[in-house]
């Protein structure tokens, strides 16, 4: 058997495999003999038809079957002979199969890129240094109270923080526009769910008033017909309600798991939660900076097959996220519908980045000889299980499913890679408030 390797551009390789004619014809002949032993041919007893008759009736099928079997048999051998490592499944194409001639086929596939790591000590990290302050604890306690607030009708003019019920209609150059009208709209002043000019224009007005508010749409507004335009909204103020926050009494504390210690115990619990959130956010930011610079330092080609697989994964993640956020069951949609709604082009840049980082991380693991730490895997599992009512049940679920455990090991191993690279990087401490840290973390999350 003869094997020739062709570089077809980028990471694509094409193997040209030639199988000698005698081996090809021998495989065809053996199949015809097996057919002759059981074929039912009119005018002949079962299994007694001459081989020539069998060949006339079944020769084409026998050759097709022989081609498929020989490709299956010889592909692993051809790959070994080529010394290549495929990154994707091959596409086969038979180029010659004439009687008495060698069988020739090609196998096209992508290979992994050759990666040479640069000087990883040049990675620069700005590490947040964040102190959880009493003001941070105050904010969290206030948020807990706001989550259980009540609303009471206020016999006064609206102010920031109130929830008002209004009818409104917007006009552009004196003409109403689509989407600019609503009845019984509930607006929390200062929540920024509506345009700032509209929310601010409600302040100082009482229930029963009808008034106009000038609203300027931002230049980057999603509706191009309104972007940058000056409009006027006519408002009918129907009700003003003010929030009433609960006291930190025994009932409120019990709802938040505090049986003893009063308000100070709640504040202590809030501080612990904020410190855990701070640690998580700092870790995530360091990881993001390490990964971004690792990628930027090593621009590499990535196998198209792996990118395609990652595109499919990202599409599935998006579908699941949309379903969870909107309560839609998109799993019943046909694959072609989902691909039309979420075309691969949307995900390809991100998919290329994910694949490249995966390959680079793999090279770091190999070159630095990083191995998974079983104790860290156990700790990670404990952290996941601790968020559930029955932690042991969650542990047993994970340990009974290799896919879940493998995913967990991958996360832990990636953490070890980041820590290894960060330990050798150039680190600058950056003092930062907790609020700014968490805000930057939210902005870095995918949409």
Token pair 């552009």 in the structure block, residue:
172
Instruction: Tell me, yes or no, whether 271 and 411 share the same domain.
Output: yes
Q: Model confidence at 120, in pLDDT bands (50, 70, 90)? A: very high
Q: Domain containing 187 — which CATH number?
A: 3.10.50.40
pLDDT of residue 334: 77
Question: C-alpha distances in angstroms, 206 versus 212, 233, 236, 303?
Answer: 13, 16, 10, 64
* pLDDT surpassing 90 at residue 320: no
Note whether 93 and 105 are within 8 A (CB).
Answer: yes
Q: Give yes or no: residues 88 and 203 share one domain.
A: no
Residue 50 has pLDDT above 70, yes or no: no
Cβ proximity of 220 and 155 under 8 Å: no
pLDDT band at 41 (very low <50, low <70, confident <90, very high): low
Q: Which of residues 244, 264, 289 is at a domain's end? A: 244
Is 261 inside a domain boundary? yes
128 domain residue, yes or no: no
Categorize the per-residue pLDDT at 52 as very low, low, confident or very high, splitting at 50, 70 and 90.
low
Query: How buried is residue 259: exposed, middle or buried, by Cβ count under 10 Å (0-12/13-18/19+)?
Result: exposed
> CA-to-CA distance for 400 and 185, rounded, in angstroms?
50
**Taking a C-beta distance cutoff of 8 angstroms, is the pair 78, 109 a contact?**
no
CB neighbour class for 43 (10 Å; exposed up to 12, middle 13-18, buried from 19): exposed
Q: What total of structural domains would you count in the chain?
A: 3
Tens digits of residue pLDDT in 372-389 = 999 999 999 999 998 898
| Residues 268 and 311 occupy one common structural domain | yes
Q: Give the span between the Cα atoms of 139 and 93, in whole angstroms.
A: 66
Pair (259, 239) in one structural domain? no
Task: Using the structure block, give the residue that is written with the tokens 């709604």.
Answer: 341
Q: How confident is the model at residue 17 (pLDDT cuts 50, 70, 90)?
A: very high
Higher per-residue pLDDT: 37 or 17: 17
The mean pLDDT of 414-425, rounded to a whole number, is: 95
Side-by-side strand order, sheet with 91-96: 2-7, 12-19, 103-110, 91-96
DSSP tally for the chain: helices H, then strands E: 13, 11
Both structure tokens of 236: 């009918």
User: pLDDT tens for residues 150-184?
Assistant: 999 999 999 999 999 999 999 999 999 998 999 99
Structure tokens at 201: 């224009």
142 within a domain of the structure (yes/no): no
Q: Could you identify the residue written with the tokens 């923080």?
A: 161
270 and 316 in a single domain? The answer is: yes
**End of a domain among 244, 268, 289?**
244
d(CA 273, CA 438): 13
Measure the CA–CA gap between 264 and 262, rounded to whole angstroms.
Answer: 6
Task: Assess if residue 206 is contained within a domain.
Answer: yes
Same domain, 226 and 286: no
Q: What is the CATH number of the domain that holds 68?
A: 3.30.70.1050
Distance of alpha carbon 213 from alpha carbon 170, whole angstroms:
9
* Residue entry with tokens 């971004």: 292
Alpha-carbon torsion 23, 25, 28, 32, what sign?
Answer: negative
Domain co-membership, 172 together with 105: no
Which residue among 215, 244, 273 closes a domain?
Answer: 244
Which H or E run contains 429? strand 426-431
The answer to whether residues 88 and 304 touch, using CB atoms and an 8 Å cutoff, is yes
The domain of 219 spans 150-244
* Residue 404's CATH number: 1.10.3120
- pLDDT, tens digit, for every residue of 248-289? 999 999 999 999 999 999 999 999 999 999 999 999 999 999
The span from the CA of 132 to the CA of 434, in Å, is 6
The b/e string for 355-390 (b: 16+ C-beta within 10 A; e otherwise) is: bbbebbbebbbeeeeeeeeeebbeebbeebbeeeee
Strands 124-129 and 426-431: parallel
409 and 360 belong to one structural domain: yes
pLDDT given at position 32: 74
DSSP state, residue 214: E
The residues near 173 (Cβ < 8 Å, ≥ 6 apart) are: none
Domain-located, residue 164: yes
DSSP helix/strand/coil, 62 = helix
3-state helix, strand, coil in the chain (%, to 5): 50, 20, 30
- Tell me which residue has tokens 């206030």: 142
pLDDT on residue 65: 87
Residue 139 covered by a domain: no
- Asked if residue 28 belongs to a domain, the reply is yes
Domain-located, residue 125: no
Return the CA Rg of the chain.
Answer: 34
pLDDT, mean of residues 76-105: 92
Q: 238 and 289: one domain?
A: no
The token duo for 219 is: 């230049």
pLDDT at 62: 81
| DSSP letter for each residue of 247-269 | PS-HHHHHHTT--SSHHHHHHHH
Provide the percentage of residues in the chain whose pLDDT is more than 70. Answer: 91
Helix (H) or strand (E) holding 277: helix 262-297
Of 5, 4, 10, give the one whose Cα is nearest residue 113: 10
- The residues pairing with 17 across neighbouring beta strands, listed in sequence order, are 3, 105
Q: Are residues 229 and 259 in the same domain?
A: no
Q: Are residues 299 and 240 in the same domain?
A: no
Return d(Cα 145, Cα 9) in angstroms, integer.
Answer: 62
Q: Within this chain, do residues 312 and 375 fall inside the same structural domain, yes or no?
A: yes
Residue 58: per-residue pLDDT = 66
Question: DSSP letters along 390-412, please?
Answer: -HHHHHHHHHH-HHHHHHHHHHH
Nearest CA to 263 among 122, 426, 144?
144
440-445 contacts at long range (C-beta below 8 A, 24 or more positions apart): 440/285, 441/281, 441/284, 441/285, 444/284, 444/285, 444/288
């Amino acid at each position: 058997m003869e094997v020739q390797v062709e570089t077809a551009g980028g990471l694509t390789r094409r193997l040209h495999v030639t199988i000698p004619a005698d081996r090809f014809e021998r495989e065809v002949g053996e199949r015809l003999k097996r057919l002759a032993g059981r074929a039912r041919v009119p005018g002949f007893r079962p299994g007694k038809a001459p081989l020539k008759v069998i060949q006339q009736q079944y020769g084409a099928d026998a050759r097709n079957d022989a081609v498929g079997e020989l490709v299956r048999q010889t592909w692993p051998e051809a790959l070994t002979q080529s010394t290549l490592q495929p990154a994707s499944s091959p596409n086969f194409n038979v180029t010659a199969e004439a009687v008495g001639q060698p069988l020739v086929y090609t196998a096209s596939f992508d290979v992994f890129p050759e990666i040479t790591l640069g000087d990883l000590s040049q990675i620069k990290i700005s590490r947040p240094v964040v102190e959880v302050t009493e003001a941070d604890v105050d904010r969290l306690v206030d948020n807990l109270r706001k989550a259980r607030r009540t609303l009471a009708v206020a016999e006064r003019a609206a102010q920031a923080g109130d929830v008002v019920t209004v009818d409104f209609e917007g006009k552009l150059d004196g003409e109403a526009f689509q989407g600019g009208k609503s009845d019984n709209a509930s607006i929390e002043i200062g929540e920024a769910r509506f345009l700032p000019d509209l929310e601010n224009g409600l302040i100082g007005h009482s229930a029963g008033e009808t008034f106009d508010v000038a609203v300027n749409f931002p230049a980057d507004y999603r509706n191009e017909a309104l972007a940058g335009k000056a409009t006027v909204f006519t408002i009918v103020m129907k009700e003003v309600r003010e929030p009433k926050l609960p006291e930190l009494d025994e009932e409120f504390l019990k709802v938040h798991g505090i049986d003893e210690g009063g308000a100070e115990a709640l504040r202590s619990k809030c501080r612990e939660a904020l410190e855990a959130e701070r640690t998580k956010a700092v870790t995530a930011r360091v990881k993001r900076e390490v990964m971004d610079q690792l990628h930027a330092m090593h621009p590499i080609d990535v196998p198209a097959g792996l990118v395609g697989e990652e595109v499919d994964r990202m599409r599935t993640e998006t579908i699941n996220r949309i379903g969870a956020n909107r309560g839609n069951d998109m799993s019943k949609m046909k694959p072609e519908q989902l691909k039309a709604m979420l075309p691969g082009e949307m995900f390809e840049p991100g998919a290329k980045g994910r694949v490249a980082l995966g390959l680079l991380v793999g090279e770091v693991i190999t070159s630095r000889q990083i191995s998974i730490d079983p104790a860290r895997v156990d700790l990670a599992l404990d952290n996941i299980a601790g968020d559930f009512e029955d932690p042991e049940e969650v542990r047993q679920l994970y340990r009974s499913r290799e896919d879940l455990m493998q995913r967990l090991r991958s996360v832990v191993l990636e953490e070890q890679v980041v820590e290894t690279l960060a330990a050798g990087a150039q680190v600058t401490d950056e003092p930062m408030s907790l609020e700014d840290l968490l805000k930057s973390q939210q902005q870095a999350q995918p949409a």
